[in-house]
Structure 1
Amino acid sequence: RNQCLNGNWQQRFYFDHASMTCRLFWYDGCSSKSRNIFDDLLTCQWLCEEQPLYKSRSCLEPFDEHYRDECNGGRWRQHFFFDKHRKKCVAFWYDGCTGESQNIFQDEMTCMQLCEEPTRKDPHMPWHHRDKHKMVEEVGKIFQPNVTNICDFTNPCENNGTCHFDRNKNTHYCKCAPGYTNANCTEKIGHFVCLIYVAILTFVSFQQMKYSFRITFTLNKTKGW
């Protein structure tokens, strides 16, 4: 919690063993041997706080109420989301609205397998006192066959891109940070590309002007003007 980077404070989270909950603190880049530090609350809760451990991090995400809206001409179909407080999968009518929350499932069975049924853990395995990176590796090895959401385990999007998973298409896509493009946000958008685009527009406009002038000149010549 000390100041180490000229007051560039950012929110971070740690697992408090006394209260068995994840807590917020302000972080200024100080280094330490302790790895009990997480970038976001969801990751901390998923790895340390939640008992039983869920098979997918999407079970902890809040449900986006926008998914209940009409977005595709009223082509309603039944989908499910996991209600963390009630600890059960809940049905709702879905018309194709999109959002960032991954807490949405096409069928009840998938929702129940990932969220309602607790994961089987070794009772002698001290989850709350282990290295968080080893925990991620072990959770991934145990539950990878049941989870298709790659965003739960890694971020294939580079240069601060955000990974989003489309459950309808069973694939992920990247939302790139400003200045980057392509599938995994690896290509930087340079000024050269913009100059080429401007040059093409200028050339097209010039050709249109020439064509328009040629037609006008021909009509005037025909009329004897």
Structure 2
Amino acid sequence: MHQKVSAKSKIMTLVAGLFLSAGVFAAEPANVVKPDLAKGEALYNSGDLKRGIAACMGCHGANGVSGGGAYPKLAGQHAAYTVKQLKDYKAGKDRPNAVMSAFASMLTDEDMLNVAAYLEKQAPGNGTAKNKASIELGQKIYRGGIPSKNVAACAGCHAPNGVGIPAQYPRLAGQWAEYTEAQLVAYRSGERKNSVQMTGVASRMSDAEIKAVSDYIAGLR
């Protein structure tokens, strides 16, 4: 015998069909690659001799906290940002660096994801602002920008405490002042070109302003 289908049942069936066709109940894509923290840790600390890849910690320090401003602190940095920088180094166009380009050229996308994910989980290295004479200027620039030069406040993108916004803007808090200063100068000169926004900001800043805000950033936490 055929059972009668109520109007309500017909409506529910139609709605379910529409949701399914729209992909509302679609499963997570099968090709999503999840990072392997153990592999990231091994590659960071020991490298991969078979592929000629040196350990990252040789320059960037144990757990991503480097020993000086020649090399940036990587601990606690958003994984998506680290991956982007490695890919930019590998491309060798908008962020030229002979050492990093050679290193990144040997990494697969999976390697980059694993190392970046490992670093994101490490405790950030704290720093301190050292120049008392410029701390007020640095704070003003970071929090309020330089209105007369159309320089936006750093806090607007990198957050008041410098932790940044995942996948969009990097963590800056505690970074070596020397490293931050060098990057701002590189943006200003056009040597580093992988952020149109930062090139515009840095192009309107003086040496004193760059130095002051870089020192202030080092003390954020």
* TM-score, length basis structure 1: 0.22
Larger radius of gyration: 1
* TM-score, length basis structure 2: 0.22
Structure richer in helix, relative to its length: 2
